[in-house]
Amino acid sequence: MDKQKLRELKILKKVYFDFPDRDIGFSESPDFVITAHKKCFGVEIAEYYQLGETGGRIANEPKYLDNVINRGTVHPRDAHFVEVVHVGMTRDEKTEFATHNMMYTPILSASKRLEKLGELIEKKNKLFKTYRKDLDHIDLLIYDPGDLQAGMDGEAIMSRLRRLQDSSVNELQTNFKNVYVFSEKMGSNEIIHLWRI
């Protein structure tokens, strides 16, 4: 099993934890098929990173961060998002006791992050017609490693998503039966059920 599929399986099991391994099958369109209670449904996994592919590389390629900080090696598509800064710490105003190179990436505004989340859902909606037709339904599970919750706007974003979850009127347009956002930040996990048919 490749690294990406293993990562997707771990994400799946954080939300669909009630299903034993024997009920979970690997697929490609959608990513997983779950067979239980005489029903067979699919789950498509999407990963949300506010910086798109750049965020994915930072989060999922273990040596990437080290290469950026210590060698200055940045993927060509990341050059406009990533900056290495030298940070010094002092005991008092005169004595520097520690310096480090760190990677700086911007945090997008709340509206931009929500826009990117909408774009991700729309991208998966466009692929829906290519998914298997023999399934009872297909769910979309969006994994957020904490990018939605990051920064000062993070709680406002999560509050907005919770209000959508609790609203009887939801402007989300999709063919997926359920759309979940699984947000994980420093041990604080939250599952938001954005859409249900």
pLDDT means over runs of 10, the chain (197 residues): 90 93 93 93 95 85 82 81 76 67 82 92 94 96 92 89 78 87 84 84
Statement to judge: residues 132 and 77 lie in one domain: no
* 96 and 176 co-located in one domain: no
Asked if residue 112 lies in contact with residue 91, where contact means CB atoms within 8 angstroms, the answer is no
| 27 and 74 both lie in a single domain | no
SS3 19: coil
Long-range contacts of 116-119 (CB under 8 A, 24+ apart): 116/48, 116/50, 116/52, 117/48, 117/142, 117/148, 117/181
Instruction: Identify the pLDDT of residue 48.
Output: 95
181 and 94, same structural domain?
A: no
Same domain, 173 and 119: yes
The pLDDT of residue 54: 84
Indicate whether 116 and 145 sit together in one domain: yes
Are 126 and 81 within one domain?
A: no
| Rg of the chain on CA atoms, in Å | 20
Would residue 55 count as lying in a domain?
no
56 assigned to some structural domain: no
pLDDT at 120: 94
Q: Is residue 180 part of a domain?
A: yes
pLDDT score at 26: 94
- pLDDT tens for 58-68 read 888 878 878 88
The pLDDT, as a whole number, for residue 96 is 62
Helices (H), the chain: 3-15, 53-60, 62-66, 110-127, 154-166
What pLDDT score was predicted for residue 183? 93
Same domain, 80 and 164: no
Predicted structure pTM score: 0.85
What pLDDT is stored for residue 185 in this prediction? 80
Q: Are 128 and 188 part of one and the same domain?
A: yes
Residue pair 45/15 in contact by the 8 Å Cβ criterion: no
Range of the structural domain that residue 67 is part of: 62-104
Q: Do 133 and 182 fall within a single domain?
A: yes
- In this structure, are 91 and 131 located in the same domain? no
* One domain for residues 126 and 165: yes
Residue 57 located in a structural domain:
no
Q: What is the pLDDT of residue 45?
A: 97
